[in-house]
Amino acid sequence: MTDPEIALGGLVQAALTAELGEAYAAADPLIRPSQFADYQSNVALSLARRLGRPPREVAEQVAAGLAGAAAVADAQVSGPGFINITLRDGWIAEQAAGQLADPRLGVTPAEPARRVVVDYSGPNVAKELHAGHLRATVVGDALVRVLEHLGHAVIRAAHLGDWGTQFGMLIEHALDLGEQATADQLAAGEFTAFYQAARAKFDSDPAFAARSRQRVVQLQAGEEQAMRLWRLLVDDSMEYLRRLYDRLDITLTDADMAPESFYNPMLADVCAELESKGIAVISDGALCAFPPGFTGRDGRPLPLMLRKSDGGYGYDSTDIAAIRYRLTELGATRIIYVVGSEQHQHLEMVFAVARQAGWLTGAATAEHAVVGLMTAPGGQRLRTRAGEQIKLVTLMDEAVERAEEVIKDRYDDPELRSQIAETVGIGALKYADLSVARDTSYVLDFDRMLALTGNTGPYLQYAIDRIRSIFHRAGLQPEHVTGPITLTGDPERALALRLLGFATAVGDVAATAEPHKLATYLFEVASAFTTFYEQCPVLTAEGSLRASRLALAALTLRVLSAGLGLLGIPVPERM
Ligand code: ARG
């Protein structure tokens, strides 16, 4: 099968070649959804100037060239030179049957495949994930799933914050507490309490602060006891992260941790390279890069701090080493940083230095996939009453608890009920995040995310459940259903046409690193299915009509399931 946008693009290009000549074949066909037909092409408007002819005239010529195509029922020129294109029902039906027979549902592997590093989630040792980590985690995980499905070689990288001056204080605090008590507290996930206690001592007790600074020096020198205690903190944190990722259905594993400490042995060499290339200079005793174009409010160039005046390294140093490693050692041709908007300037400066150094060249790209905030109603920061960050698990627990409330009347078996509530609650939380443009902020609203109607996780999960039950009642396995498909009315046609857009939706997510495009698409499919199901009897239809409608239902089921799978939204066995 072919996605209609892709098919029409090819047809427009063929018409350009036939009507205007080879030189125009490569023009972007500019296919867009249309209010007046299935699609429109805006190509005539873009070519008119180049041709020195009125756009409507060019449009007429291209429309004439499209007229004979098997896919096209009608091509009409409108407005200043749009070409409104209506597809032939028979063609849509044939493509849909083809899509049903295709295990990949029309999604073809990307050409060329790239080696993509996706830096996401951004966890830190000895700190819990809080509400702010949800988006960087969930959006990043949807991207890796989509990119992998398209055949890209994906390297997941969680830039685990496991290094830096705070570890001196954390180790000292662990020593004060005793190793066993530390392990017990951390195993219970009490990172915040642990961290805050260390912080409080550091701020109020000069002797403790001095010991902490001493301990950092030892740690950075690889001293044995310091290293052992540090390992303890890292291991306990990893244990906690594993559990959390597992429950959230996030595909990050231990092997995907790219901790800051990993880059430690490279830092001196990175500094030397940048210094010898003249990109880094000593400023007030520190080694700094001042990438052009970045200035502070006072107009002075902004530094990336590569080595502090005391010889220590920090967040900037590690990110510079990481980008060099990813480009020159891992051979990445695309790096996507799924990180909060507050780090935008930092990351842009890192990219600029990578370009200056000649690491980021040619077709290789680095991009900051900005994630915005989840806020409290009214746009305020999400905080507990005590003014603290809200833990991610707290959000998860609450979503699940409320999901149980929503579904409670449907199941008697408490075990089944809590199992389904878990899937519905976590799915709702993730979907709420994925369904809005990632760079905008949105209000945390449990009632909305758990609603059974509207663009929500439960609505899509429920749509899948409804379709499954059709097959259950028919006594059929949806996997075994095949075409042919015939379209007898608008609801069927609209559904089939929407289903054919799957490949475009998936491709758009990969190109723009914006998973909400797939979410929007799935919602449109589910809505088209709802209309279809209301207006077109399936099980009570007869003969070939029944078979065709079952085939459309089976295709809808497969597209929705595959799509939710790519977003990382779990689907309950039944609902
Ligand atoms: N751990 C960092 C934080 O909590 C986020 C890491 C983002 N990735 C990166 N390469 N800097 O802010």
- Give the pLDDT score at 379: 80
Are residues 53 and 19 in contact, defined by beta-carbon separation less than 8 angstroms?
no
Q: By mean pLDDT, which of 120-124, 221-225, 272-276, 359-363 is the weakest?
A: 221-225
Burial state string for 132-161 with b = 16 or more CB within 10 A and e = fewer than 16: bbbbbbbbbbbbbbbbbbbebebbbbbbbb
- Give the pLDDT score at 26: 85
Q: Whose CA is nearest to atom 3 of ligand 1?
A: 122
Q: By mean pLDDT, which of 120-129, 183-192, 506-515, 524-533 is the weakest?
A: 183-192
The verdict on the CB of residue 422 being under 6 Å from ligand 1 is no
Concatenating the DSSP letter of every residue in 129-166 gives: -BTTHHHHHHHHHHHHHHHHHTT-EEEEEB--B--STH
DSSP H stretches of helix in 267-413: 267-276, 315-324, 344-356, 392-407
Winning range, highest mean pLDDT, from 195-199, 478-482, 514-518? 514-518
Atom of ligand 1 nearest to the CA of 127: 4
The verdict on the CB of residue 161 being under 6 Å from ligand 1 is yes
What the block records as the tokens of 292 is 């052009």
Percent of the chain with pLDDT over 70: 100
Winning range, highest mean pLDDT, from 38-42, 76-80, 140-144, 181-185? 140-144
Q: Is 76 helix (H, G, I), strand (E, B) or coil?
A: strand
- Give the pLDDT score at 383: 86
Q: Tell whether the model's pLDDT for residue 187 goes beyond 80.
A: no
What the block records as the tokens of 76 is 């009409």
Instruction: Provide mean pLDDT across the span 359-364.
Output: 95
The verdict on the CB of residue 119 being under 6 Å from ligand 1 is yes
The verdict on the CB of residue 124 being under 6 Å from ligand 1 is yes
**Which of 155, 159, 234 is the pocket-test mutation for ligand 1 (most atoms within 8 Å of CB)?**
159
The verdict on the CB of residue 162 being under 6 Å from ligand 1 is no
Q: How far apart are CA 559 and CA 525, in angstroms?
A: 8
Residue pLDDT, tens place only, 325-361: 999 999 999 999 999 999 999 999 999 999 999 999 9
Q: Tell whether the model's pLDDT for residue 188 goes beyond 80.
A: no
Q: Tell whether the model's pLDDT for residue 95 goes beyond 90.
A: yes
Average confidence score pLDDT of the chain: 94
Q: Whose CA is nearest to atom 4 of ligand 1?
A: 122
- Whether this model's pTM surpasses 0.85: yes
**SS3 letters for 20-47?**
HCHHHCCCCCCEEECCCCCEEECHHHHH
Q: Tell whether the model's pLDDT for residue 310 goes beyond 70.
A: yes
Concatenating the DSSP letter of every residue in 544-562 gives: HHHHHHHHHHHHHHHHHHH
Split at pLDDT 50, 70, 90, the class of 378 is confident
Q: Whose CA is nearest to atom 2 of ligand 1?
A: 122
Q: How far apart are CA 222 and CA 220, in angstroms?
A: 5
Atom of ligand 1 nearest to the CA of 315: 11
The verdict on the CB of residue 122 being under 6 Å from ligand 1 is yes
Are residues 370 and 341 in contact, defined by beta-carbon separation less than 8 angstroms?
yes
Burial state string for 368-384 with b = 16 or more CB within 10 A and e = fewer than 16: bbbbebbeeeeeeebee
Rounded (10°) CA dihedral 452, 454, 457, 459: 50
Residue tagged 């941790």 (tokens): 257
158: CA distance to ligand 1 center in Å?
A: 8
Q: Is 282 helix (H, G, I), strand (E, B) or coil?
A: strand
Instruction: Provide mean pLDDT across the span 37-46.
Output: 92
Q: Tell whether the model's pLDDT for residue 127 goes beyond 70.
A: yes
- Residue 304 has, within 13 A of its CA and on its CB side, a CA count of 30
> What share of residues in the chain are helix, strand, coil (percent, to 5)?
60, 10, 30
The verdict on the CB of residue 164 being under 6 Å from ligand 1 is no
Are residues 121 and 138 in contact, defined by beta-carbon separation less than 8 angstroms?
no
- Give the pLDDT score at 408: 87
| Those residues with Cβ within 8 angstroms of residue 339's Cβ, 6 or more apart along the chain or in another chain | 119, 120, 122, 136, 347, 368, 369, 370, 371
Q: How far apart are CA 332 and CA 461, in angstroms?
A: 36
- Residue 163 has, within 13 A of its CA and on its CB side, a CA count of 24
Q: Tell whether the model's pLDDT for residue 550 goes beyond 80.
A: yes
- Give the pLDDT score at 165: 81
202: CA distance to ligand 1 center in Å?
A: 23
The verdict on the CB of residue 326 being under 6 Å from ligand 1 is no
Q: Whose CA is nearest to atom 12 of ligand 1?
A: 122
414: CA distance to ligand 1 center in Å?
A: 40
CA-to-CA separations, 10 to 2, 363, 555, in angstroms, rounded:
11, 25, 25
Comparing C-alpha atoms, which of 135, 567, 159, 143 is closest to residue 373? 135
Instruction: Provide mean pLDDT across the span 192-220.
Output: 92
Are residues 427 and 457 in contact, defined by beta-carbon separation less than 8 angstroms?
yes
Residue pLDDT, tens place only, 508-546: 999 999 999 999 999 999 999 999 999 999 999 999 999
Q: Tell whether the model's pLDDT for residue 1 goes beyond 70.
A: no
Q: How far apart are CA 533 and CA 556, in angstroms?
A: 11
**Which of 119, 129, 139, 339 is the pocket-test mutation for ligand 1 (most atoms within 8 Å of CB)?**
339
382: CA distance to ligand 1 center in Å?
A: 20
Q: Whose CA is nearest to atom 9 of ligand 1?
A: 159
The verdict on the CB of residue 81 being under 6 Å from ligand 1 is no
